[in-house]
Structure 1
Amino acid sequence: MKRLLIFLLFITQLSLAQKITITGQVVDSVSHALQGATVILLNPKDSSLVNFGASNNSGQFEIKNLEKIEYILKITYVGYKTYSSLLHVTESEVMDLGLIKMYPAQTKLDEVVIQSEKIPVVIKRDTIEYNALAFKTNQNSNVEELLKKLPGVEVDNDGTIRSQGEQVKRITVDGKTFFGTDPKLATRNLPADAIDKVQVFDKKSDQATFSGIDDGQREKTINLELKEEKRNGIFGNVQGGVGTDDRFAAKANLNRFRKGQQLSVLGMANNTNEQGFSMEEYMSFTGGAQQLMSGRGQVSVQLNSNNQSGIPLNIGGRNSGIMTNYAGGVNFNNEFNKKTELNTSYFYNYLDHDIDATTERTNYLSNGNLQFNQHSRQLNTNANHRVNATLEHKLDSMNSLKMVTSVTYNETESNTKSESQNLDAGGILQNESIGSTSSAGSSVNLNTNLLWRHRFSRKGRTLSVNGQLSVTDSDRDGDQNATNIYYTEGEMVNNVLQTNIQETNTVSYSGTLSYTEPLGKRRYLEANYTFRQNLNDVDKRVYDVENEDYVFNSSLSNQYKSDYQYHRAGLNLRMVRSNYNLTFGSSLQQTYLDGDLILLDQKISKSYQNILPVAHFNYDFSTTKHLRFDYETSVQEPTIQQLQPVVDNSDQLNWYIGNPNLRPAYAHNARLNFMTFEPGKFVSFFAFVDATYTKNSITTAQSYTEEQVRISTPVNVSSNTRINTDATFSFPIQKFGSRFSLSANVTRQSGVNVVEEVESGILQKTYGGRLRYDYRYKEVFDASLSANISRQSTDYEFNKSSNQLYFNKTYTAEANLTILKNYQLSSSLEYLVYESKTTDYKQSIPLVNLSISRFLLKAKSGELKFSVNNLLDKNIGVSQTADVNYFQRQTTNSLGRYYMVSFIYAINKQLNPMGMRPPRGGMMRIIR
């Protein structure tokens, strides 16, 4: 055995000794370093790619583990002639080529065209650019599957995208709007093989882009840059499938892109819980987003009668309930000429949603805990029409107009049956409720924005005027039938039979004037003024039904009119230097609120004045290393719902009452962002620290009646502090065709909770991390493994025994094997673990999907696929949350096991007939 080990060590050392390293430095004709030059080695026999690299910020490159044979060395750099040389390898272990000079290109004739799609990640100032060819996806995959492969990018099972810890709000295609602002319409409907590059950046407002003065308004945005061949033709996918349990799925997308024009048509129909659109869209149509921000705590997101809007909720990373979905739309972008461009889209969707949910919540009180249990069944339908249009016109070289308009029409219907109860710490029943609710309604929303921009003859002097108009009109009718039994003092039965009618009208208009003046030495001053007015009219009428008579209930009804008026004036100074720029300034905001509670004969009149400083700083260490700091202040005024002192008893054991004495919250937010990329080694690192301090923070106070009915009310507390950090490190092991991505995040939030009018501190800490490993062997096999673990603790000052500690863990494994060239086996495992250390609860959900595909037709444009989804038939979803004074766990029904046979056809795949994938390592392809 000892001799065998010695022999193996000798062979290993011998093989290592046979490897060499080639180094050099790429410079221009005056010996200035060229960073990011592409360095490739070809085999002289067949010109096949052997290895490659890129020069760093000093122009140096290093290519390791090379055999001692001859190579063709080629170096390319944009705007320079291609360098080519035959290398005769020396016997030394390191071959230093010294300075390699490159000269400006004079002609494109007789050149070897090299497509430098080799570096997986590149940082260009504030943009992170991923090369799509470096991240392999399965045949006929959509963009969402591609995004899941990118380091620093995470995609939840509901389709929510996060990049470096921030949620992506917008997707564009070749810089053009794609179906409005819903990211899923692009990620779940466009084919992955149409994408050349994925660019992630913070999109600034139109005003900031025009004036150059950062106003702090940003949207995390992804731009999908198409392959050149896709920009001049028709491409897309058509697929259909049938399965067991009457499951069906059909989907089609057709895209015709040519110079100055984009046309996309989408359609889908399925009952397999696949959504091609976002939950946020529903919430904005029905007012759900406003409810979530109104401080109503978890009441508004429970799957019970209070959720009247029929919003499809996501539980524990899985779509809850059973959904049947029909949707379709068209997107059209056209450049009429160099001065005029139009972006338009129409989209329709219909959703039928069946939810069965069980809620277990422990409410922590100073005099003992209260256990709330509820089982509910909800049937929702939602139909929506949405039209978006953007028209941009350059009047002349000095003036331009941009108009953005969106119109939505939404119809919802919801029917819910629920059984609820509260038990004290000894398990004694305090109350219970059995009831049903139904509601139906519609809403129309119009939003339009008109921006006029003017440049003066002096560079840097600009003037812009921005006007906005928003109109919302919604109507909703509902019925409630409940039997409530209270046991705190004997047994008291309360029967509730009510009907309600609600009309809501909102009109908001605003105007912003901005002027910039150059001060010399690349310094600029901006003066701005904004006026905004929000008019709200809410009329909710509740009637008790008694012996078929309708009796007006004034205590639950509400007529409210409000007028919010804002005046804001500010000054900002911007300094621009070669490697940094700085913007700082301040605004003065004056706010007036006049409200009229008509039924209560009560007036609300308030005024607020705030100074809002701001600062933005960008520093470029190099073209691949950047630092950004942002400091902003903001005011969060109370919403209409928060200010109305009217009881909402939609959930009979959980009431909500507004508070007309609320003051606006004042927030300081500071964010430090750092990113770097080493092109020679393909190593990237992103990190940020985000801190927010909120004074007069609005939180939800909890109190209980004698019958143990919970009452939630928004109140102001002294302050709330939140610190969030996130870091992602990614690096390859090229020799083994592998890539690692490691992310870590920490969140610490401290604040004040209010229980039974007593304030006490609360501290929440979350530690999380994600590790992903990707491996690829040629075009035959690829696999990825990942682990995502989150640990959250909640400490209560008023009751240490109520402290919470729980874990959410997700482990995934995916693998694809190509056999006999035209067959592909695919498998995926998602293992979800929900664990509470406080209650000793643990739930594990393994989700296994398997499929086998046979590729047909020319260029594998056809795919016949047999799949089994959720092989182990785990039809459950779990969510657990610790909040200001309670711990809650929710379980819901989800889609169980089904088998399906599908056929997918890729339209015009012959545009890329070889299915041109990069060679080993996924970094490069060469066209000679």
Structure 2
Amino acid sequence: MKSVFFTIVGLLLWSVSIAQINLNGKILDKSDNTPLTNATVVLLNQDSILKYHTRANENGAFEFNKIKPDDYLLVISYPKFELHSEKIQLKANTKVNDILLSSQANLIEEVVVTGKIPIRIKGDTIEYDAGSFETEKNAKLEDLLRRLPGLTVSGDGSVTAHGKSVSKVLIDGEEFFGYDPKIAIRNVRADAVDKVQVYERKSEEAELTGIDDGQRFQTVNVVLKEEARVGIFGNVEANLGTEELYTANLFAAKFNRTERIGITANTNNMGANSGGREGSLRMNSQITGEPQNTSIGANYDNQFFKRKLNVNANYNFSDASNRNERQSNRIEIFPDITQQTNSKTDNENSSQGHNFRSEFKLRIDSTSNMELQVNGNQSKTNSLSSSENYLFRNETLAVRDFASSNSSIGDNLSNEIRLNYRKRLNKNGLSLNIHLNNNFEESDQESMVYQKTYFHKIDTMVSDRTTIVDQNRFTDSRSNRFSTQLQINNRINQKMNYSIGYNFSMNDSKNKVDAFNNNDSGNSIDEEYSQNLINESRNQTIITNLNYNTEKLNFSISNRTNYRNQALNDSYRDIDLSRDFWDNDLNLSSNYKISNRKNLNASYQNNFDIPSFSQLQRLQPQTSPIFVQLGNPNLKRAVNNNFRLDYSTLSLLKGTSWNLNSAIGFKSNPIVNKRTVSDTLTTSTYVNVTGKSSWNANLNSNYSKPIFDRKVQLNLFTGANYNNGFTYTRYSKDGSYTDQAQYELNNTQNASLHTGFSFNEQDSKGLDYDFNWRINVNNQRNSLQADLNYTNLSTGGSTYLRYFLPKQFNFTTQINYNIEGPTKLYKQSIQQFYTNLEFSKKLLKNQSLVASIKAFDIFKTYNTTNRNVSETEFSESTQLMLTRYVLFGLKWDFNKNLGKKNNG
């Protein structure tokens, strides 16, 4: 391990120490020779790709250190001054003559600015010029995003922008394959991209209704080149491997100005469909169980009637199955004892589904528009599982053996219709918004259940006995939800606007479970395991929103006052619950733009946790003879107060960014779990912890800057998290709910501190690399058994290296190492180490065909043990997993006309 580590470090240091040439000069005002402080200085290569950039100091001087010898275009800009550009050839240290710029006010002829600015800030949007960032030939959008300062892309395709997770990736403002947004970044060509825009978007509900709910989602919008809106592109990939592994992927798209058509297909036995990323070195490519997956998808997007109507439709078919084996060891703690459960589970499941999503946007006239969404889903499921578990008291005393088998088939159907209409009523900002939504779901399931429980004779309180449950269960679920909202928006003045609205919603649902005992000749319903539940609710809501906007400050306050009418009936248990009550949600948010580079955001939310009927219903159907779930009709609502404060600063020219995110939340009168555990039965219900508050807090910081003359991007991150929660528990020998044994209130406190760093260089020449390391300290405290409290350390990291060799050969490796320290219950550390390798070569004149050999977990060192900790439970588990295998693959990228300018 040491030799591998020092080899990696040596290669990284070598890669950043090749260039040793310096360039410097001075920038002055031509009229009076005064220095132009903070003038922008950019070095572009012969392909107009940004390589280096800096600013002039207070004396007008600038300097680049240790840059690579090459031919460059030196571009200098200063606000309201002419743009200066000149070609320079660097072979040795160079000092350019003083550069004199003329004010645009003194220029006789018009100045045409043709130089590209790599990064711009436009209001709340950061815009990257894609052509200023170099990618290798046939690279994808994913590769381009990795090269943009402030953006990262993980191995599974998740995008992070300036410390915040990106929830949507749009192509020209529209979703592309809405059912899987990762398809866009993995298949759209990098050379087809003109701009990449990063901004925060309101929630879909807020955009449809116009009511700001305070939620913001980081969004990336990819603007295509004009010439890239016409053409055909895509890729085909196939891999065959050891252990009879295979994967095949197809993606094809046709763009024709406003029309976009795309298809995708995948089949593999390596895991859930991940957009053609099976066998990716950047992902954790362990194969869990024995999966089989096939999927086909299509996307259509176009504009009609002189671009007044926009249509976006997506369809996806999936057929997935898996078989898996799992073993686990679980330890639960109580005031005086511990219970240990050793279990083994085998399961098989399969599903087939059709998913359809569509959106129609109609611009009726200059004052009104309408949006219609129609979505549908239909699926069939099959499952077969068997399990056995063995319960021990204090690790050695055998208490109970439990075995079960379950097979089920099910049909599921859902559809949703959403309609939103907006009408501007006058030129002063008065507008009307009408919103309608209907969602219908139904599910039918048939299950055959067999459960056998053997209770060991421990003392005189518990006899040696066996119980058997052998049933057929039929489940019929239906749900229909409808809502409508009318809203008026108006402007008070240029800085302030408000909205007021009324919402009515209703939900009618039923859930019927009929359980028949197979050993009952009368074939009667076993009501202990059955239910006939009807749930009806009617909600009326008054919504108000006030916004104040200036160039520097944005402030929003919104409030939802709800009157709820709810009723629940279970005829099998003679239960009839109804309630009427008021509810209120308050949201405050503000954003202060300290400067073009600095931003401060603060928000506050106040709302309630309303007890659900499943928490209120006293008697509920059993699912097994060893567990009973009860409700508590006396539950009260819990009150939530959440505060958030975010600060960010960004220097585009220096390439630095710093994000500080903090949040704290308090829950008064929390609803918690209350359990009675015995050797024969666990009974669970819910109670309020009166007079106490559970709370959580977190603080996270992320700092990024370029180093080694901007060739390497360095990221430093640190954070702290704290959670304080409660549960009630007690151990009862006879297991009865009425036992007089006292409940103990367990106060659990979890605290963790983490810090780490990463650095990467990606220019598609010589060596690309990405290295990260993380250290985490965990501390857990519980009040039941203080001697089990612990503090442990976990640390680990990974490195991704890609060598660009001659003759279009590439060599890639991914190395991962982690270690998780011991706890009081689990004395052994968990070490994790594995290495993946890939050797590839680009073929054909246009390098569109790539042949590859990939080897995963080459030393067979992957540790399949997984450890989890919750409030009163510790567990370790392993499952059926294939970690070492080899894949032989071919991938062909095709492109017809896309991105090629028409010179005719």
The TM-score, its normalising length taken from structure 2, stands at 0.85
- Structure 1 residue 713 and structure 2 residue 700: aligned? no
SS in 2 for 1:490: coil
How far does residue 179 in structure 1 lie from its aligned partner after superposition? 2.3
Task: Say which SS state the counterpart of residue 245 (structure 1) adopts.
Answer: helix
Question: 1:251 and 1:92 mapped to 2: Cα distance?
Answer: 51
Instruction: Tell me the equivalent position of 2:41.
Output: 39
| 1:821-857 deviation digits (Å, cap 9, x = unpaired) | 3111111112243333322232223222111111111
In the alignment, what sits opposite 1:439?
408
The question of whether the paired residues in 1 share the 8 Å contact of 2:270 and 2:287 is answered with no
Q: Tell me whether 1:322 sits opposite 2:290 in the alignment.
A: yes
Q: Does the alignment pair 1:480 with 2:478?
A: no
Question: Partner of 1:338: helix, strand, or coil?
Answer: coil
Which of these residues, 412, 421, 427, is aligned with residue 390 of structure 2?
421
SS in 2 for 1:234: strand
For the residues of structure 1 that align with 2:443 and 2:31, how far apart are their CA atoms? 65
- Structure 1 residue aligned with 2:483, among 469, 487, 510? 510
Is residue 565 from structure 1 mapped to residue 535 from structure 2 by the alignment? no
CA gap 1:566/1:885 in 2 versus in 1, 3 angstroms: same
In the TM superposition, what whole-angstrom CA distance separates every residue of 1:599-634 from its partner, at most 9, and x where no partner exists?
111111123323332212111122232222222233
Question: Of the candidates 322, 325, 333, which is equivalent to residue 353 of structure 1?
Answer: 322
Deviation, 1:17, is 12
Change (3 A) 1:430 1:192: farther
Q: Tell me the secondary structure at the aligned position of residue 520 of structure 1.
A: coil
Structure 1 residue 148: Cα displacement: 6.3
Deviation for aligned residue 1:449:
1.0
Corresponding residue for 2:470? 497
The match for 2:778 is: 792
Q: Distance in 1 between matches of 2:678 and 2:810?
A: 62
Query: What's 1:574 paired with?
Result: 547
CA distance in 1, matches of 2:299, 2:109: 40
2:728 to 747, 754, 762: 754
Residue of structure 1 in register with 2:15 after alignment: none
1:909 positional shift = 7.8
- Tell me what 2:571 maps to: 598
**Aligned letter for 2:173?**
G
Q: 1:692-731 deviations in whole A, cap 9, x for unaligned? A: 2223433333321341x33343443343212122221111
1:22-171 equivalent positions in 2, closer than 5 A: 22=25, 24=27, 39-41=41-43, 52-53=52-53, 62-65=62-65, 73-75=74-76, 82-84=83-85, 97=99, 101-102=103-104, 113-117=114-118, 119=119, 124-128=122-126, 167-171=165-169
Distance 1:272 1:235, change over 3 A: same
Distance of 2:163 and 2:683 partners within structure 1: 34
Partner of 2:805: 819
Aligned to 1:723: 697
- Asked whether the equivalents of residues 616 and 629 of structure 1 are also in contact (C-alpha less than 8 Å), the reply is yes
After alignment, is 888-897 or 721-730 more displaced?
Answer: 888-897
The structural deviation recorded for 1:191 is 5.3
Q: What secondary structure does 1:273 align onto?
A: coil
Matches within 5 A, 1:821-900: 821-838=807-824, 839-874=826-861, 877-900=864-887
- Match of 1:861, as an amino acid? S
**Displacement of 1:536:** 1.4
Deviation at 1:532, TM superposition (A): 1.6
Partner secondary structure for residue 546 of structure 1: coil
Moved more, 440-449 or 147-156: 147-156
The residue matched to 1:502 in structure 2 has which SS? strand
Give 1:661-680 correspondences, 5 Å limit.
Answer: 661-680=634-653
Q: Which runs of 5+ in 2 are unaligned?
A: 1-17, 277-282, 731-742
Question: Is contact 1:28-1:34 (8 Å) kept?
Answer: no
SS in 2 for 1:366: coil
Structure 1, residues 333-377: CA drift from partner, whole Å, max 9, x if none?
A: 111133211111101111111221122221111121111221111
Indicate if the aligned counterparts of 2:266 and 2:273 stay in contact, CA closer than 8 A.
no
Secondary structure at 2:787's aligned position in 1?
Answer: helix
SS of 1:422's equivalent in the other structure is strand
Q: Which amino acid aligns with 2:689?
A: V
Question: Match of 2:432?
Answer: 463
Q: Is the partner of 2:829 in helix, strand or coil?
A: strand
Residues 587-666 of structure 1: matches in 2 within 5 Å? 587-639=560-612, 641-647=614-620, 650=623, 653-666=626-639
3-state DSSP of counterpart to 2:212:
coil
**1:717 alignment partner AA:** V
Say which SS state the counterpart of residue 600 (structure 1) adopts.
coil
Aligned residues: 855
Aligned-partner Cα distance in 1 for 2:551–2:58: 19
Equivalent residue for 2:508, pick from 535, 539, 552:
535
Q: Is contact 1:74–1:83 with CA below 8 Å preserved after alignment?
A: yes
Letter of the 1:738 counterpart: V
The root-mean-square deviation of aligned C-alpha atoms, in Å, is 4.0
- Percent identical: 22
Q: Find the counterpart in structure 2 of residue 552 from structure 1.
A: 525
Which runs of structure 2 are paired with 1:364-375 in the superposition (5 Å)?
Answer: 364-375=333-344
Instruction: Find the residue that maps to 1:555 and give its secondary structure.
Output: helix
- 1:685 and 1:731 mapped to 2: Cα distance? 9
Shift of 1:646: 4.9
Amino acid at match of 2:714: F
Hey, what's the Cα distance between the residues in 2 that align with 1:408 and 1:104?
A: 66
What is the CA distance between 1:388 and its match in structure 2? 0.4
Contact 2:713 2:761 in 1 (8 A): yes
CA–CA distance in 1 between the matches of 2:53 and 2:265? 43
Q: CA offset at residue 639 of structure 1?
A: 4.2
Counterpart Cα distance in 1 of 2:549 and 2:31:
28
Question: What does residue range 402-417 of structure 1 map to in structure 2 within 5 Å?
Answer: 402-417=371-386
SS at match of 1:724: strand
Alpha-carbon distance in 1 for matches of 2:206, 2:393: 56
| Greater Cα offset, 546-555 or 893-902 | 546-555
The change in CA–CA distance for 1:25 and 1:657 in structure 2 (over 3 A counts) is farther
CA distance in 1, matches of 2:233, 2:191: 10
**Which residue in the other structure is 1:918 paired with?**
none
Counterpart residue type for residue 815 of structure 1:
L
Deviates more, 1:764-773 or 1:66-75: 66-75
Alpha-carbon contact 1:420-1:653 (below 8 Å) kept: no
User: Deviations along 1:538-572, whole A, 9 cap, x unmatched?
Assistant: 10111222167644211111111111222221332
Shift of 1:136: 7.2
SS state of the match for residue 860, structure 1? Answer: coil
**Structure 1 residue identity aligned to 2:716:** L
In structure 1, give the amino acid aligned to 2:860: D
Q: Which residue of 2 aligns with 1:306?
A: none
Q: Partners of 2:31 and 2:696 in 1: how far apart?
A: 49
Q: Which runs of 5+ in 1 are unaligned?
A: 1-14, 279-314, 915-928
Q: 1:429 to 1:156 in 2, by over 3 A?
A: farther
One-letter code of the match for 2:488?
Answer: Y
1:302-346 residue CA offsets vs partner (Å, 9 max, x unmatched):
xxxxxxxxxxxxx99966433221111101111113321111110
In structure 1, give the amino acid aligned to 2:682.
Answer: R
SS of the equivalent of 2:765 reads coil
Residue aligned with 1:230, SS: helix
Counterpart of 1:224?
Answer: 222
The whole-number CA distance in structure 2 between the counterparts of 1:32 and 1:576 is 37
Cα distance per residue 1:15-43 (max 9 Å; x no partner): 999945435489999x99999x8633479
Please give the TM-score of this superposition, normalised by the length of structure 1: 0.83
Q: Distance in 1 between matches of 2:108 and 2:363?
A: 35
Deviations 1:770-791 (A, max 9, x none): 4211135761211111123433
What SS class does the counterpart of residue 411 from structure 1 fall into?
strand
AA of the residue aligned to 2:598: K
Structure-2 change in CA distance of 1:577 and 1:42 (3 Å): closer
Q: Distance in 1 between matches of 2:319 and 2:113?
A: 52
Residues 98 and 211 from structure 1, CA distance in 2 versus in 1: closer, same or farther, beyond 3 angstroms?
Answer: farther
Contact 1:62 1:680 in 2 (8 A): no
Distance in 2 between the 1:26 and 1:69 partners?
29
Matches of 1:400 and 1:443, distance apart in 2: 34
